[in-house]
Amino acid sequence: MKQKITIAVTGGSSGRGRILVAANLSTALTDMGLKVTYLDCDVENALEFHYLNPNWYLEFEVEKRVPEIDPERCSHCGECTALCQFNAIADLGDSVLTFPNRCYSCGACVHFCPSGAISETLQSTGRVRLGYSGTIRVVDGRINIGERHGESVIQAVRQQEADSGATIITAGTSGLNGAVLRNVDHVILVMGATPFGIHEYHRTAEYLKQIKIPFSTVIKNDGIGDQKTAEYCRRLNIPVLMQLPPDLDNTAARPVDNHLPETDRWIMEQFHSLGHQIMTERAS
């Protein structure tokens, strides 16, 4: 059987901490000889790859099925409006309006329309790019402006996952959903050393416990503020994998020519030891 591990790296609002960890972990696992796929599932965020800087070789549109009404056949029974849980369709009496950006493509309105007045058509929801950063395969998804649901784009990104080696997924804590977390073996939560964001962290930790995905923490900007984050993790028995010093966003760990800089051996060693730790736990 092919060995495979999927790790999601998540974190708070700016996204810089988790991208830094995800990119450097990807590089460390590559250095260990693993085939690595890096999936950016933060489809609502315009963050670019500060660290991996991939060369893109392909881009494609992602589409979803949305309803299309035939006004000649519609009897204005109101069934579709009542059925749709996402307010993506409205019967105004003399016409039926659809709001494709809200539609989840569940197909319920199509199936239950008593007049057979609803068919399906395809609408673009976003795009996916494929690239390489050295030997790391990078996949990046973005939803269109105004699109409410990113699932179709996330699914398209996840479909690019290799069936062996390591997959590193990045997404913000607010974007963790079933599509992002499907078949994920471990989640790394990257958080600051200050109490800011502890509520978000707690909410995410509780969610991961509920859905039974093991998780651990990387503390960034260690030494700034108090030790509340470390205390919190200790209290809840959440493993702390690494404590990163401040200012990494702008200095160390920013790769030149798709590689980690030679200038910060300490950081490189930290990520290599994190990679070894993860793979050892995977094998045990």
Q: Of the two residues 60 and 86, which places its CB atom closer to ligand SF4 in the complex?
A: 86
Q: Give the number of C-alpha atoms closer than 13 A to the C-alpha of residue 159, restricted to the C-beta side.
A: 10
Q: Of the two residues 76 and 129, which places its CB atom closer to ligand SF4 in the complex?
A: 76
Q: Phi and psi (nearest 5°) for 141?
A: -120, 145
Smallest CA-to-CA distance from 141 within 46, 229, 27 is with 46
Q: Of the two residues 91 and 222, which places its CB atom closer to ligand SF4 in the complex?
A: 91
Shortest reach from residue 123's CB to ligand SF4, in Å:
11
Q: Of the two residues 56 and 86, which places its CB atom closer to ligand SF4 in the complex?
A: 86
Shortest reach from residue 75's CB to ligand SF4, in Å:
5
The one-letter amino acid at 189: L
Q: Of the two residues 75 and 121, which places its CB atom closer to ligand SF4 in the complex?
A: 75
Shortest reach from residue 92's CB to ligand SF4, in Å:
10
Shortest reach from residue 110's CB to ligand SF4, in Å:
6
Q: CB under 8 Å, gap of 24 or more: what pairs does 74-80 form?
A: 74/115, 74/117, 75/114, 75/115, 75/117, 77/114, 77/115, 79/109, 79/112, 79/113, 79/114, 80/109, 80/112, 80/113, 80/118
Smallest CA-to-CA distance from 123 within 90, 155, 101, 107 is with 101
Report how far residue 59's alpha carbon sits from residue 45's, in angstroms, rounded to the nearest whole number.
17
Binding region for ligand SF4 (CB under 6 A)? 67, 69, 74-80, 83-84, 86, 88-89, 91, 96, 103-109, 113, 115, 117-118
Shortest reach from residue 81's CB to ligand SF4, in Å:
7
Q: Of the two residues 21 and 109, which places its CB atom closer to ligand SF4 in the complex?
A: 109
Shortest reach from residue 175's CB to ligand SF4, in Å:
20
